[in-house]
Amino acid sequence: MYLSKEYKAGIFAEFAGAAANTGSAEGQVALFTKRIAHLTEHLKKNRKDFNTQRSLQMLVGKRRSLLAYLYKKDINRYRAIIKALGLRDIIK
C-alpha cells in the first residue's frame, strides 16, 4: 500500500504538530493532498477507471470543505497550510 502507517505518521508529524494528532484539519488536508496526487497519477495511466475518478472528486471536495473550515476558523492556519502544500487559494 502506498500510504503505510509510518508514512501517514510522518505527514501528521510534519503538518499537524504530532504523529498522534490525526484529527487536525492541517494534517487531514496534507494527507488528502498526497492521496489526490497519487490518484491523479493513476488516472493519467488508466483513463477509463471511473471509480477512481469519482473517488478523486470526492477527495477534492473533502479537502475543499476542510480548507473552507480553516479559512472560517483561523485564516493564519489556512494561509500557512496553503503555502506549505503549494495549493492555490480557492476561497474567494
Identify the CATH number of the domain in which residue 64 sits: 1.10.287.10
Q: Using an 8 Å Cβ cutoff, are 49 and 56 in contact?
A: no
Q: Is residue 91 part of a domain?
A: no
Long-range contacts of 87-91 (CB under 8 A, 24+ apart): 87/33, 90/64, 91/67
> Does 21 map to a domain?
yes
Q: Is residue 92 part of a domain?
A: no
Specify the pTM: 0.90
Q: How many domains does the chain have?
A: 1
Q: What is the pLDDT of residues 78-89, one digit of tens each?
A: 999 999 999 998
The pLDDT tens digits for 24-38 are 999 999 999 999 999
